[in-house]
DNA sequence: TTTATTGACTTTCTTTGACCTTAATTATAT
DNA sequence: ATATAATTAAGGTCAAAGAAAGTCAATAAA
């Protein structure tokens, strides 16, 4: 018997296909649809819809709350997608980050202005914590920015 | 399922646009128009029309009472400079950061795309460290970005 | 041993209502 | 006519209830 988590994963991916890569759902609805604990939805999201997998999750609690799942656009830019999935590991130095940004500008994926803003966000000065932690934070911030850039939603 | 508070927020913002940023209304009228408790109007104002959001609220009780909402329009560089120098202290919550970003978008200081990228950089998820440190890092990253935005303006 | 499942508990956000304060108007007493 | 009291007409506050999602650790399954 296929694991429920896999079934839920497939279900969400089907929904995403039908809705062109962007989807808002109610955790409790989905849980009761599959007759499982609500927290299992979180488990599925945490293990199969991470940034590294190419998905971006947003959510809100309270009345009218939701979970929003965005499939990042693979076609948009292979290099960025590669960076997000494999090119950036657990840590990223300032120097490496700047090199990535340079290349992104050269490839015309972001403007010089974008690069300048992003650089300011991930600079050593901005990340004012003990240096042992810096590269880890920088990696996660950089990935988060890549996800935003790859996000389908052009309006934003 | 759309939150009533959001609908009321939009309604007020539409009115504000029509009246060039200044508006007087009756709490009870608005509440009965939306068929909600009067105190929900206060909730909307308290959560969506704060100073950080760029609004100023004045009111008066008793007969002939009113609520006056004023959108604070400012000069871009003045605002960024103020925010950088005084408006943001040692710590900045994600919520506050988003409020500032919303205001910057509404005032056309930055694009929605910019805001989206910046938001991704300062989100709780991106800053993956113990929560006691998060707001401090966020403040310093946010300031660093503000400084970048300011210096981009100077280049012109 | 790793991966899934479950459920108790927590946090966040929204909605509602009971009660409080302030201002204006109207009625009453001097 | 005037000062005062009562009434009415606003808006404010706060806490409780409700509506979501998140976390984490214990167990179960593979």
Q: How many pairs of residues across A and B have Cβ atoms under 8 Å apart?
A: 87
Closest partner CB to A155 (pick from B112, B117, B152): B112
Q: How confident is the model at residue A79 (pLDDT cuts 50, 70, 90)?
A: confident
Residue B136 lies in domain: 76-155
Q: How confident is the model at residue A74 (pLDDT cuts 50, 70, 90)?
A: confident
Q: Which of A49, A71, A93 is the last residue of a domain?
A: A71
pLDDT at B132: 87
Q: What is the CATH number of the domain that holds B115?
A: 1.10.1200
Q: Is residue A155 part of a domain?
A: no
Identify the burial level of A58 via C-beta atoms within 10 angstroms of its C-beta, where 0-12 means exposed, 13-18 middle and 19 or more buried. middle
Our CA-based measurement puts residue B2 at a distance from the nearest CA of chain A, in whole angstroms, of 6
Identify which has the larger pLDDT, B16 or A128: B16
Q: What is the CATH number of the domain that holds B62?
A: 3.30.56.130
- What is the average pLDDT across B127-138? 91
Q: Which of B36, B56, B71 is the last residue of a domain?
A: B71
Note whether A140 and A84 are same-domain residues.
Answer: yes
Alpha helices in chain B (DSSP H): 4-18, 27-33, 38-48, 76-82, 94-106, 112-122, 131-155
Q: What is the mean pLDDT of chain B?
A: 96
Closest partner CB to B144 (pick from A64, A114, A121): A121
For the stretch B83-110, pLDDT in tens is 999 999 999 999 999 999 999 999 999 9
Note whether B58 and B107 are same-domain residues.
Answer: no
Establish how many alpha carbons lie within 13 A of residue B8's alpha carbon, considering only the half-sphere containing its beta carbon: 26
Residue A122 in contact with partner chain B when CB distance is under 8 A: yes
Query: What count of other Cβ atoms lies within 10 Å of the Cβ of residue B81?
Result: 15
Q: Do B137 and A127 touch (CB under 8 A)?
A: yes
Our count of domains for chain A comes to: 2
């Amino acid at each position: 018997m296929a694991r429920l988590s896999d079934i839920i994963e497939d279900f969400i991916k089907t929904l995403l296909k039908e809705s062109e890569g962007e989807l808002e759902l109610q955790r409790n609805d989905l849980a009761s649809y599959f007759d499982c604990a609500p927290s299992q939805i979180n488990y599925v999201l945490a293990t199969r819809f991470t940034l590294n997998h190419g998905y971006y999750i947003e959510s809100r609690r309270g009345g009218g709350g939701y979970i929003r799942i965005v499939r990042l656009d693979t076609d948009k830019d292979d290099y960025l997608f590669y960076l997000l999935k494999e090119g950036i590991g657990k840590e990223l130095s300032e120097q490496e980050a700047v090199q990535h940004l340079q290349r992104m500008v050269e490839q015309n994926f972001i403007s010089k202005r974008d690069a300048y803003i992003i650089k300011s966000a991930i600079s050593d000065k901005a990340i004012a914590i003990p240096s042992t932690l810096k590269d880890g934070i920088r990696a996660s911030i950089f990935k988060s920015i890549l996800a935003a850039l790859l996000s389908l939603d052009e309006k934003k």
